[in-house]
Each structure stands twice: as structure tokens, then as C-alpha cells.
């Protein structure tokens, strides 16, 4: 048990010593990390007109949510290493949602109502790069990791018009359009230098997602005591992408 305790303390001391070397900046190291994010969102809610005593239009609702998380971790725990580390994250997100409820027109004792229109777009982008140069040898290492994600989504939901006259009843259904996109990209590069060597590690992740959804309900018209109803319309696009590169070199 005593030997195991000494061994654990020895390993801990080694790890702390390596981190101390990295923090103190011993060795020749060139590190570069960058994260770019561009997000553009456009939403439009258009509620139809209600004409007549018994005319009612549905709600027009839009929602846009974009979450981008980017992180780069670079560690050089070798005082004899000539290391160059480059990590780059780029995310471009553009979302457009439009929701429009139809017009409702009632006359002559008729009843007219239009359905709700709901359009939504949700995108989640997670990108991460980890670069580590370790060991106690003398080596020249170049590590390059790149993550690029492009997401473009468009959702359109339109409920139809409803027209009723002469005691008729007309209603149009609800329209729902939604987009969901999830992108996960990760690069892990570990170079363990034991002797005298030259090494290069290159990893790249690229993802492009384009989604367009549209949901439209038909028009409803009733007269002379008749009844007209249109059904609901739903359109959904779901995209999930996960990419990972792991590189480990012992040299």
C-alpha cells in the first residue's frame, strides 16, 4: 500500500510538473486559436384580417433559436518541443421564419375562423478542438485542426382563408412548420514526443445543412347553412450531424 501511495504521488507530481512547464512557457511554442460566429435571423408574423361580427383569425407565431458553442484547448507540456498549434472554429447560421394566418370573412349570419400559423427554427452548433504536445523528447510538431459549420433554415406556415355567408360555417386548419438542426464536431490531437522527431497532425470537420419547410392549409368557404373545414398542415425537417477526429502519435 505504501508503494502504491508513493506511485500515485509520483504520477501526480509528474503531471503537475508538466503543467508547470507548459504554463512557464519553456520550449518554443506558437499557438493560434480563433472562433468566428455569424448569425442572422429574420422573423415575420402576419395576422389576417377579420371582417364581420362572427369572424376570427388565428394567431401567427414565429420563433428562432440559435445556440453556438465553440472552444479550443491547446496544451504544450514539453520543454524541449518546437510546437506550432493552430485551431480554428467558424459557424455561420442564417434562419428565416414566416407565419401568416389567413383572412376570415363572415356575413349574413355566417361564422368564419382561420387556424393558427406557427413557424419555428432551432439550430445548435457545438465545435471543439483539443491539441496536446507531451513527452520529454526533442521534436518539431505541427498541429492543425479546423471546424466549419454552415446552417441555413427557412420555415413558412400559412393558414388558409375562411369565408362564410348565409348562416354557413367555415374554418381553416392550423399550419405548423419547424426546422431543427444539431451539429457536433470535435477534433482531438495528441502528440507524445519520446525521442527526436518531426511530426504533423491535420484534422478538419466541415458540415453544411440547408433546410426549407412549408406548411399551408387550404381555403374554406361555406354558404346557405353549409359547413366547410380544412385540415391541419404540418411540415418538419430534422437534421443531426456528429463528426469526430482523434489523432494520437507516439514518436
DSSP 149-207: EEEEEEEEEEPPPEEEETT-EEE---EEEEEEEEEEEEEEEEEEE-SEEEEEEEEEEEE
The tally of domains found in the chain comes to 1
Instruction: Indicate the helix (H) or strand (E) that contains 73.
Output: strand 60-76
More confident residue, 5 or 78: 78
Distance between CA atoms of residues 54 and 110, nearest Å: 7
pTM metric for this prediction = 0.80
CA–CA dist 149, 64 (Å, integer): 18
pLDDT in tens, 208-231: 999 999 999 999 999 999 999 999
Choice between 251 and 89, residue whose per-residue pLDDT is larger:
89
Contact 220, 170 (CB under 8 A): yes
pLDDT level of residue 8 (50, 70, 90 thresholds): very low
- How confident is the model over 141-189, as pLDDT tens digits? 999 999 999 999 999 999 999 999 999 999 999 999 999 999 999 999 9
Can you tell me the mean pLDDT for 61-76? 95
pLDDT band with cut points at 50, 70 and 90 for residue 27: very low
Using a pLDDT cut of 90, give the percent of the chain over it.
Answer: 77
Q: What is the pLDDT of residue 29?
A: 59
User: CA-to-CA distance for 184 and 93, rounded, in angstroms?
Assistant: 14
50-51/104-107 β-pairing: parallel
Please report the pLDDT score of residue 205 as a whole number. Answer: 97
- Contact 114/161 with Cβ under 8 angstroms? yes
- By C-alpha distance, which of 127, 126, 125 is closest to 147? 127
Contact predicate 103/160, CB 8 Å: no
Q: Specify the pLDDT at position 230.
A: 96
Angle at 34 between CA 146 and CA 68, to 5 degrees: 80
- Cα separation, 21 vs 83, in Å, equals 14
How does residue 113 score in pLDDT terms, banded at 50, 70 and 90?
very high
User: Which residues span the domain enclosing 38?
Assistant: 2-250
Other C-beta atoms lying within 10 Å of the C-beta of residue 184 = 18
Under a CB-based contact definition with an 8 Å cutoff, are residues 139 and 193 in contact?
yes
Strand order in the sheet with 111-113: 55-56, 111-113, 169-171, 227-229
Amino acid at each position: 500500500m505504501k508503494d502504491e501511495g508513493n506511485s500515485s504521488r509520483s504520477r501526480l507530481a509528474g503531471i503537475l510538473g508538466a503543467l508547470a512547464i507548459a504554463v512557464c512557457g519553456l520550449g518554443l511554442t506558437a499557438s493560434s486559436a480563433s472562433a468566428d460566429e455569424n448569425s442572422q435571423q429574420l422573423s415575420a408574423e402576419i395576422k389576417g384580417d377579420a371582417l364581420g361580427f362572427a369572424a376570427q383569425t388565428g394567431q401567427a407565431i414565429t420563433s428562432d433559436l440559435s445556440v453556438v458553442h465553440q472552444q479550443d484547448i491547446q496544451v504544450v507540456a514539453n520543454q524541449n518541443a518546437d510546437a506550432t498549434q493552430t485551431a480554428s472554429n467558424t459557424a455561420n447560421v442564417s434562419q428565416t421564419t414566416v407565419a401568416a394566418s389567413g383572412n376570415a370573412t363572415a356575413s349574413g349570419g355566417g361564422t368564419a375562423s382561420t387556424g393558427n400559423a406557427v413557424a419555428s427554427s432551432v439550430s445548435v452548433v457545438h465545435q471543439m478542438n483539443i491539441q496536446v504536445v507531451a513527452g520529454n523528447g526533442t521534436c518539431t510538431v505541427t498541429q492543425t485542426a479546423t471546424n466549419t459549420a454552415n446552417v441555413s433554415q427557412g420555415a413558412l406556415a400559412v393558414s388558409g382563408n375562411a369565408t362564410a355567408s348565409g348562416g354557413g360555417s367555415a374554418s381553416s386548419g392550423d399550419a405548423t412548420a419547424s426546422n431543427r438542426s444539431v451539429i457536433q464536431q470535435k477534433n482531438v490531437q495528441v502528440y507524445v514526443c519520446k525521442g527526436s522527431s518531426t511530426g504533423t497532425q491535420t484534422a478538419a470537420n466541415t458540415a453544411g445543412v440547408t433546410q426549407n419547410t412549408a406548411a399551408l392549409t387550404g381555403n374554406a368557404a361555406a354558404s346557405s347553412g353549409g359547413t366547410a373545414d380544412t385540415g391541419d398542415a404540418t411540415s418538419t425537417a430534422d437534421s443531426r450531424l456528429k463528426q469526430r477526429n482523434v489523432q494520437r502519435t507516439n514518436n
